[in-house]
Amino acid sequence: MKKNYVILLVLAALVAFGAIRYDNFVSAYNISSFWRYNSMFALISIGMCFVIVTGGIDLSVGTVAAMSSVVAALASPHGATVAVLAGVGAGVLMGVINGLIVTRLRILPFIATLATSLAAHGLALLLGHNDAVAISAQSGFAAFGQGDWLGLPIPAWVSLAAFAIALVALGYTRFGRYALAAGGSEEAARLMGLNIDRLLVTVYAVSGALAGLAGVILASQFGAGQPNEGVGWELFAISAVVLGGTLLSGGEGSIGMTIAGVALLGLVFNMLNFENGMGFISLSAYWQSVIRGVFLLVVIILQARALKRGSVRTDASASPGATRKA
């Protein structure tokens, strides 16, 4: 709980600092633009949270999103609905493949999703002929990423719906309890009679679906499928999930704090853009990857130290009892 409070306090402090330092930081336009863009990262981070909770990892989310954006763009002449379904379907297919490789072939998730990440990138380039694929201007598909509803960007509504469903799924359903149990101890979960293989395939399919949905937003928001996008998105998602207190070893996680992690990382990059605009610093977009890597490294180190302190306390508390028994 303390970790959660720290993240929320840091988030509140950054918002307060930005509101004081930058003009229009809390304007409706900046807030709208912030969530319109970061909705894609919110979606892949929610999917990543489910995967990490089970003790796995999904390194393919970025390239799956890029591939799905190309698929959606190619399908857009047939209508906006077809484009959305095609993009999400492509993501689900890649997620199921990830799950089957992990469960049937017994390949480590790190290796399996790294391989499918390379495959998804290659497919995106093949489908797009090594170039961006323009969406159909007559289909209305662009409104999915660029339009508003009730004063908020449609992508923000999409990510909000995904957040609400994921929050309920992880915290209040058997699916969530089984996912946490599998991450805590897969062997114990199997002995309890849980179908872990089916669970893992479902979890990776969910991650793929949300990555596909992020790709749909990417294509509709920028007006084209982007085969070379998505590089480093998996780092953002992992950083956001770990910042939210989810253990990389699995068995513990929070959808709400994952979104707080997304907001925190997105806010840092948003503030860097404001600093660039003020002329005090000049950082290229490539610095975002550096910052993501540093954030991830720092949080993993802190998490590892916290786990080590916890195990030391457990051993210390267990020792006196063992001595008395002897």
Give the number of other CB atoms < 10 A from CB of residue 181: 22
The residue with tokens 């928001």 is 221
Give the pLDDT score at 187: 86
Give the pLDDT score at 283: 65
Residues 6+ apart with CB under 8 A from 211: 43, 44, 47, 60, 61, 62, 64, 65, 68, 91, 94, 95
Q: What are phi and psi of 244, to 5 degrees?
A: -75, 5
C-alpha 65/C-alpha 236 separation (Å) is: 13
Mean pLDDT, the chain cut into blocks of 10 residues (326 residues total) = 70 91 90 93 96 96 97 96 97 97 95 96 94 92 93 95 96 94 88 92 97 97 93 89 86 91 89 75 68 73 67 56 43
Give the number of other CB atoms < 10 A from CB of residue 18: 16
Domains of the chain, residue spans? 24-314
Give the pLDDT score at 301: 79
Give the number of other CB atoms < 10 A from CB of residue 192: 12
Q: Do 44 and 237 touch, CB atoms closer than 8 A?
A: yes
Cα angle 175-180-185, degrees, rounded to a multiple of 5: 125
Using CA atoms, how far residue 237 sits from 259, 281, 322, in Å, is: 10, 26, 43
83-86 contacts: CB < 8 A, separation 24 or more?
83/135, 83/139, 83/141, 83/144, 83/216, 83/219, 83/220, 84/141, 84/144, 84/213, 84/216
In sequence order, which ranges of 22-104 are alpha helices (DSSP H)? 28-53, 61-75, 80-104
153 bridge partner residues: 148
The residue with tokens 């550096």 is 290
Give the pLDDT score at 320: 52
- pTM here? 0.89
C-alpha 36/C-alpha 266 separation (Å) is: 11
Give the chain's length.
326
Q: Do 226 and 219 touch, CB atoms closer than 8 A?
A: yes
SS3 58: coil
Note the CATH number of domain 24-314: 1.10.3470
Q: What are phi and psi of 139, to 5 degrees?
A: -80, -20
Burial class of residue 311, CB neighbours in 10 A (0-12, 13-18, 19+): exposed
Q: What one-character DSSP code corresponds to residue 136?
A: P
Cα radius of gyration (the chain): 21
Give the pLDDT score at 323: 42
- Among 205, 209, 158, smallest CA distance to 179 is for 205
